[in-house]
């Protein structure tokens, strides 16, 4: 187990380094720069700005300086904001996005798998159809349409639910729901198919024939096995939800991290592009590792190393 973890850790660092390097190269090879705008900027002002942010140095030197600062945990100054550093932005934006993400995750994971299991248990009966309808809506309606629909028909009619903004719990409800719908639908479908498969297995029949109560068969034998595919998508799902959604944050005016992802690229804010990419990569890598570990607890058949045998 320890050996495995160490191996994974080294792999993670290498992965991260590769991501940093590729992002750095791609970012600098895209046309445009952080200071270009549709205006009369004299060459002098442009040069002053380049100097201030060290962009006048050769690319390799910039790369080395960036890596050095990164090792100290310094993501650098944003090239667009004179107010906050990239670290400030992540420190401020991440908790907001993460809060919304956790809320969405709770909604998705309490309702989604339950709905899927129910559908499987009542296959081709009305709970199945209901869950299918919800799943189809959830998967096919993009979140930006869902967000707009929620604002137009829910927020505008219920004055307690604000149209946009951030600050209180009531601000989080609609965006969290809009965010949750897709993973909810996805996990419901996943749960349904894997549950159906498990229910047809021999050991379920054995358990039933042993005379165990139906509830116990479902919860102890069926659900525990059927939930595995959901656990495996959980890593990506959590990372995506935690770092926020550009669309949802834009529509609801939420000061989260998701907005920075797209805005930094549009404005070519180099340091912010790097900062958000690296931050997201770290979260994704950690989550995937955690999921692998979680596997062993849920399914004893999976072992991280051969030692366990």
Partner 1 sequence: MSKKFLVLVSLLLVTAIVFTGCVPKGGDTPKDTGSTPAPAPSTPSTPAPAAEKILRTNNASEPGSLDPALAQGTHESWVLDHTFEGLMKLDKDGKVVPGMAKEYKISEDDLTYTFVLRDDIKWSNGDPVTAQDFEFSWKRALDPDLAADYAFQLYYIKGGEAYNTGAATADDVAIKALDDKTLEITLETPTGYFLELTAFYTYYPVNKKVVEANPDWAKNANTHVSNGPFTLTEWEHNASIKIRKNANYYDAANVKLDGVDFTIIDDVNTAWQGYEGGDYDFLVEIPQAVTAKLKAENNTELVIGGMVGTYYYNLNSKVKPFNNVKIRKGLSMTLDRETIVDKIAQGGQIAAAGAVPFGMFDENGREYRDGVGNLISYNVEEGKKLFAEGLAEEGMKPEDFKKIVLLYNTSEAHKKIAQAAQEMWRQNLGIEIQLENVDFQVKLDREKAGDYHISRAGWIGDYMDPMTFIDLWWSDSSFNDAKYNNKKYDELVFTAKGTADQKVRFDAMREAEKILMNDMPIIPVYFYTQPYAQKSYVTGVFKPLVNYPKLTYADIVK
Q: Is the dihedral of CA 227, 111, 92, 18 positive or negative?
A: positive
With contacts defined by CB under 8 A, name the span among 8-16, 161-169, 233-241, 298-306 that binds partner 1: 161-169
Instruction: Find the binding residues for partner 1 in span 29-48 (CB under 8 A).
Output: 30-33, 35-45, 48
Q: Give me the helices (H) in the chain, please.
A: 2-29, 43-52, 59-71, 86-121, 126-140, 143-149, 169-199, 202-209, 214-216, 224-226, 228-242, 246-252, 258-266, 270-298
Calpha distance 298→226 (Å, rounded): 11
Site string (265-284) toward partner 1, x via CB under 8 A: -x-x----------------
Of the candidates 47, 32, 93, which has an alpha carbon nearest to the alpha carbon of residue 268?
Answer: 32
Asked if residue 204 binds partner 1 (CB under 8 A), the reply is no
Among 104, 259, 274, 278, binds partner 1 (CB under 8 A): 259
Binding segment for partner 1 among 67-75, 200-208, 210-218, 283-291 (CB under 8 A)?
210-218
Q: Is residue 127 part of the contact set for partner 1 (CB under 8 A)?
A: no
Please report whether residue 165 would count as binding partner 1 according to CB under 8 A.
yes
Structure tokens at 302: 């999976």
Residues 6+ apart with CB under 8 A from 102: 241, 242
The per-residue DSSP string of 188-231 comes to HHHHHHHHHHHHTSHHHHHHHHTT--HHHIIIIIIIHHHTHHHH
What gap in Å lies between CA 151 and CA 124, rounded to an integer?
34
Q: Applying CB under 8 A, which part among 63-71, 87-95, 126-134, 278-286 lies near partner 1?
A: 87-95
Q: Is 219 in the site for partner 1 (CB under 8 A)?
A: yes
Give the CA-trace dihedral at 106, 109, 115, 120, to 10 degrees. -170
Closest separation in Å from C-beta 109 to partner 1: 8
**Choice from 28, 80, 196, 204 touching partner 1 (CB under 8 A):** 80
- Give yes or no for residue 128 binding partner 1 (CB under 8 A): no
Shortest approach of partner 1 to residue 224 CB, angstroms?
A: 11
Q: How far apart are CA 280 and CA 278, in angstroms?
A: 5
Judge whether 259 and 250 are in contact, CB under 8 Å: yes
Least distance (Å) between residue 80 CB and partner 1: 6
Judged by CB, which is closer to partner 1: 142, or 308? Answer: 142
Where along the sequence are the contacts to partner 1 (CB under 8 A)? 30-33, 35-45, 48-49, 51-52, 80-84, 92-93, 95-96, 98-99, 103, 106-107, 110, 114, 148, 151-152, 155-156, 159-160, 162-169, 171-172, 215-216, 218-219, 250-253, 255, 259, 266, 268
């Amino acid at each position: 187990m320890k050996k495995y973890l160490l191996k994974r850790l080294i792999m993670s660092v290498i992965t991260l380094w590769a991501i940093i390097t590729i992002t750095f190269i791609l970012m600098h090879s895209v046309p445009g720069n952080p200071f270009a705008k549709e205006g009369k900027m004299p060459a002098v002002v442009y040069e002053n700005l380049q100097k201030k942010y060290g962009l006048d140095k050769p690319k390799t030197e910039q790369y080395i300086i960036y890596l050095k600062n990164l090792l100290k945990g310094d993501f650098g100054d944003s090239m667009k904001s004179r107010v906050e550093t990239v670290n400030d932005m992540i420190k401020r934006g991440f908790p907001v996005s993460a809060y919304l993400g956790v809320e969405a995750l709770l909604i998705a994971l309490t309702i989604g798998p339950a709905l899927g299991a129910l559908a499987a248990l009542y296959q081709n009966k009305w709970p199945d159809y209901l869950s299918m309808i919800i799943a189809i809506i959830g998967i096919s309606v993009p979140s930006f349409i869902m967000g707009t629909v929620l604002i137009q028909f829910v927020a505008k009619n219920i004055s307690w639910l604000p149209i946009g903004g951030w600050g209180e719990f009531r601000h989080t409800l609609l965006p969290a729901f809009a965010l949750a719908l897709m993973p909810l639908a996805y996990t419901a479908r996943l749960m349904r198919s894997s549950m159906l498969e498990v229910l047809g297995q021999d050991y379920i029949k054995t358990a039933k024939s042993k005379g165990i109560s139906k509830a116990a068969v479902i919860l102890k034998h069926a659900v525990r096995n059927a939930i595995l595919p959901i656990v495996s998508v959980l890593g990506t799902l959590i990372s995506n939800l935690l770092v926020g959604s550009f669309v949802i944050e834009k529509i609801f005016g939420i000061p989260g991290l998701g907005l920075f992802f797209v805005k930094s690229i549009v404005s070519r804010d180099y340091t912010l592009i790097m900062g958000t990419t690296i931050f997201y990569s770290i979260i994704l890598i950690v989550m995937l590792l955690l999921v692998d570990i979680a596997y062993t607890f849920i399914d004893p058949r999976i072992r991280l190393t051969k030692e366990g045998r």
